Structure 1
Amino acid sequence: MDDLTHLFSAYFYEAWDEYEYGSWEEAVDDFAHRSPDRVAGAVVGLQALLDEPLDDRALDERLRALGCTFVSDLGDRAWLVQLRDRLRSASAGAQSLSRAN
């Protein structure tokens, strides 16, 4: 399973917000904490997804195929940008911590 599919299917499955997390940010932070080795791959996958010329419906279908059922009020594309940026920040923070040790 690639890193992006892992993120979506393990953290944004059908009832993720009912049982485990209070927000998508909390889910992403947990992913970055539990799977730091997958963060860079997920960022690359998100960027590749964002670079595809998909309309809103096709992007929604792609997300569902990857296991993501989350629907943001922002819309899929804007949320994916925020998700990518949050993962980049988490990755940068983890790299800073590992260099300090």
Structure 2
Amino acid sequence: MNAEALQTQLAQLQQKVAKLLVQHRQLKQALQEANIERKQLRVQNEKQKEELKNFQNKIKTSKIVATIATTPQQNAAICQKIEEYVAEIDKCIAQLNQK
């Protein structure tokens, strides 16, 4: 091989390395963005799970109240009291989980 052919091959190799470096940076950036999005989705998922749990508790409370109370005022009072108990229990569970 002569020097000119080696120079050409070296130049081609340098171009390929430069392209690979650009590709690497782009992929690294895309990975960082995907990781950020994944974290955001996990937070959103946890919030939705908590909301679902709250709705399920309200449904259970409504069913309990419906079997106990006879007037709408009693329903509201019992429902409020049960929700207070559930909220207090949730606080206790959260405190226990922190320890």
TM-score (norm 2): 0.34
Higher RCO (C-alpha under 8 Å, 6+ residues apart): 1
Question: Which protein has the bigger helix share?
Answer: 2
TM-score (norm 1): 0.33
